[in-house]
Chains A and B, each alone.
Chain A
Amino acid sequence: MAAPLTHTLDSLTVGDEIATATYQLDRGNLVRYAGASGDFNAIHYRDDIAAEVGLPGVLAHGMLTMGLSVQPVVEWIGDPGRVRDYQVKFTRPVVVDPRTGATVTVAAKVGAVDVEAQTARVDLTVTYEDATVLGKAQVVLSFA
Chain B
Amino acid sequence: MAVNPELVGRHFPPTAPYLVGREKVREFSRAVLATHPINLDPSAAQAAGYSDVVAPPTFAVVIQEGTLAQLLNEPGSGIELTRIVHGSQQFSYTRPIVAGDELIAQLAVESVKTLAGNALVTAVSTITDAAGEHVCTATSMLVVGGDN
Contacts and interface: CB of A to CB of B under 8 A. Distances in A.
Contacts of B115: none
Interface string A17-42: 00000010000010011011111010
A81 interface: yes
B18 to A, nearest CB: 11
Contacts, number: 119
A90 B96 contact: no
Q: Describe A's contact surface by its main secondary structure.
A: mixed
Contact of A79 (B38, B89, B90): B38
A85 B50 CA distance: 19
Do most interface residues of chain B lie in helix, strand or loop, or is the interface mixed? mixed
Interface of B: 24, 27-28, 30-36, 38-39, 47-50, 54-58, 61-62, 65, 81-82, 85-93, 95-96
A1 B93 CA distance: 15
B97 to A, nearest CB: 9
A23 B87 CA distance: 23
Given A36-B30, A67-B58, A71-B35, A85 B65 contact: no
B33 to A, nearest CB: 5
Contacts of B38: 3, 79-81
A83 B31 contact: no
B54 to A, nearest CB: 5
